[in-house]
């Protein structure tokens, strides 16, 4: 029973870590490409803002609430098992 509790604790910590990682990458990436000017004798006015490329987050990044919740629940279960067995 003690090995199962330790294994459950390790799995819960791994799930919490993965949930935090998913939370950190669940934001779009904004890329501002540099403006390349080949002829410097002609002044080119940049009307408006610079072009922005927006890359959405990966599809699995929005799974952070589920993994974080599962990790916290498993950690609580392992703590209760450890307390009941002691």
Compute CA 32 distance to the chain's CA centroid, rounded to the nearest angstrom. 22
* Mean pLDDT score across all residues of the chain: 85
Are 26 and 62 in contact by the 8 Å Cβ rule? The answer is yes
Tokens 């987050």, residue? 57
Neighbours of 5 (CB within 10 A): 17
Q: Where are the beta strands (DSSP E) in the chain?
A: 29-31, 53-55
- Whether the pLDDT of residue 55 is over 80: the answer is yes
**pTM of the complete model beyond 0.75:** no
Q: Is the pLDDT of residue 81 over 80?
A: yes
């Amino acid at each position: 029973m003690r090995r199962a509790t330790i294994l459950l604790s390790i799995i819960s910590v791994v799930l919490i870590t993965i949930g935090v990682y998913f939370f950190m990458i669940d934001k779009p990436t904004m890329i501002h490409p540099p403006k390349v000017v080949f002829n410097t004798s002609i002044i080119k006015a940049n009307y408006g803002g610079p072009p922005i490329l927006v890359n959405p987050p990966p599809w699995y990044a929005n799974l952070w609430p589920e993994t974080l919740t599962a990790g916290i629940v498993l950690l609580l279960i392992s703590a209760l098992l450890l307390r009941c067995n002691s």
